[in-house]
Amino acid sequence: IPFLQRSIQLLLLPIHVLACLGLWDSFYKKVFPYIMARVAPMYNHKVYRQKRELFSNLRKFAGPSGQLMLLEIGTGTGTNFQFYPPGCRLTCTDPNPNFRKFLLKSLSENPHLQLEQLVVASGEDLHEIQDGAVDVVVCTLVLCSVTSINKVLTEVLRVLRLGGAFYFLEHVAADQSSWTYFWQKVCDPVWKYFGDGCSLSRETQKELEKTNFSELNLRCIRVTPYWIPSSPHIIGYAIK
């Protein structure tokens, strides 16, 4: 694995050098939203049925007023908006401010939603959101690229009201005896350059199981094409 990792790094040497100099990250954060604006709809098409099923019971977590207060971490281009119920009061967070124009475009295409806040913040630090302020937190394809999954989940528990739910859809590490896992480990060092810090081999399920949720509903799926290293996923929701 180390030999193959270094071989790939050698092929991408200019990018590796820019990353070491601290120049790649600032450049790619400007480019990444444009890439995601193209890629995210294609991914959404692949998992449309799974997302529709996942978000079908969002309404049951609405607060006493009947309105659903929903916080999405790492909103990106807003590809989940179409799955949220009408009247949903939405708070969007993302650490990359360059997503803003794409997110606003998605909001204009989904007038059934009511925007409450647009916050530039990482999932590890949601200090602008009050304790127990939201009914639902959503996080899709985000935990693969955060600095600390544990810190994100700690923040999720803090901002959720008692009885609220955390919805997730994440690509994760494959079984360690599989060829998929082998290639995940080979590609990991350079994958982060093109996924804005994304890791292919995060064991997110274990982190969710360790977190103090009262209930965890989780299942494993694979997203086509099955041969790519990001195919293994987990999907589900957890209740505080």
What's the CATH code of the domain at 20? 3.40.50.150
**Looking at residue 4, what is its pLDDT?**
87
Q: What is the mean pLDDT of each run of 10 residues along the chain (240 residues)?
A: 85 86 90 95 96 97 91 97 96 96 96 95 96 97 96 98 97 96 93 92 96 96 95 98
What pLDDT, on the 0 to 100 scale, is given for residue 20? 85
CA 211, 216, 217, 219 dihedral sign is positive
Q: What is the pLDDT of residue 112?
A: 95
Q: Give whole-number Cα distances, 213 to 58, 62, 89, 158, 210, in Å.
A: 17, 18, 24, 11, 8
63: closest CA among 92, 88, 91? 88
What per-residue confidence (pLDDT) applies to 7? 87
**Residue 137, domain extent:** 1-239
C-alpha distances out from residue 205 to 15, 118, 119, 172, 220, Å: 31, 29, 27, 8, 9
Q: What per-residue confidence (pLDDT) applies to 99?
A: 96
The confidence score (pLDDT) of residue 43 equals 96
Distance CA 111, CA 167 (A): 22
Domains in the chain, number: 1
The torsion region of residue 141 among left (phi > 0), alpha (psi -120 to 50) and beta comes to left
pLDDT at position 131 is 97
Within 10 angstroms of residue 67's Cβ, the number of other Cβ atoms is 13
Q: What pTM does this model have?
A: 0.94
